Amino acid sequence: MEPVRFAAAGRHAAEQAELPGGAFLMGDSRGDGNPGDGETPVHRVVVRPFSIDATCVTTADFAAFAEATGYRTEAELYGFSAVFHLALSARPQDVMRPVPGAPWWVGVRGADWRHPGGVLSEAEPDHPVVHVSWNDATAYCSWAGRRLPTEAEWEYASRGGLEGARYPWGDELPRDEWRVNIWQGDFPSRNTLEDGHLTTAPVRAFAPNAYGLRQTVGNVWEWCADWYAPDYYARSPEEDPRGPRRGTARVLRGGSFLCHDSYCNRYRNSARSANTPGSSMANAGFRTARDRAPSPEPGSRIR
């Protein structure tokens, strides 16, 4: 499916982090990543000034878009999407086979952005919209006069000025006061809910980083503009990299509520993943970005 384009007409309501751009070191400097993901080599990158959503696009945001345009997501057109097995809220006849190699994922007829667990569920308006493909996300951006962030912009924003840090707040994962929505317990059968959430959390549930962005890691994977290649960092330009010219999968960043060290420790600033542009699932959403004029003042500002 080709991405749908609209003449920009929508009102995008998300709070913005206005970032001045500049240089940073991109990639895994801690040795935490899976070598196959392509988080190395660490390399210097310079990004231009841009604004980016302080939160993921919410269900309410996406509903305004769908109501204004009549847009139907790919999950709605296909008639099914992928749901985590402990979050099913569907009729027995709607539950399809588990995903080969990942039996905690189940195809569910009627699962979509309005019904994240199946037809018996209802999406929360202040949670990130999920079951949206890369194509769906770019359609929203077109309507809103926005775009998806590049992978470099996303990592720059997620780091919040902390050079080389694992997480948006530093290097350690505090367990006395949870700052991220990930899996606790035994994956994938038992979640002890220490962070308070089995699946998605409200977009403003946890404290922001120093740039004002909330939940860039955990909660939901976030689509970026770039095509994905595991060897891209070895040939990435220093100035405003935009990813490979072509590919078969688009970049996803930040991990999700399913991340657990026994299976997936990708709830880190440098972690990378990817999926095909038409894929949708219950743990992936997006935030939007836009170019802005250079600022004479250092730092960032929320408006």
Express each pLDDT in 8-63 by its tens digit.
Answer: 677 898 999 999 999 999 999 999 998 999 999 999 999 999 999 999 999 999 99
Tell me whether residue 85 is in a domain.
yes
In a domain, 5, yes or no: no
Instruction: Identify whether 255 is part of a domain.
Output: yes
Is 6 among the domain residues?
no
- What are the b/e assignments for 155-191, b being 16+ CB within 10 Å? bbbbbbbbeebbbbbeeebeeeebbbbbbeeebbeeb
Burial level of 6, CB count in 10 A (0-12/13-18/19+)?
middle
Domain membership of residue 108 (yes or no) is: yes
DSSP 76: H
Number of structural domains (the chain) is 1
CATH number at residue 134: 3.90.1580.10
How far apart CA 194 and CA 65 sit, in angstroms, is 34
In a domain, 9, yes or no: no
Give the domain extent around 112.
16-296
Q: How confident is the model at residue 302, as a pLDDT?
A: 44
pLDDT tens string 84-94? 999 999 999 99
Q: Each residue of 265-279: b (16+ CB within 10 Å) or e?
A: bbbbbbbbbbbebeb
- Say if 8 falls within a structural domain: no
Across 138-165, average pLDDT: 97
Asked if residue 4 is part of any domain, the answer here is no
Instruction: Pull the structure tokens for residue 154.
Output: 């996303």
Number of H helices, E strands in the chain: 4, 15
- Let me know: does 280 contact 74? Beta carbons within 8 Å: yes
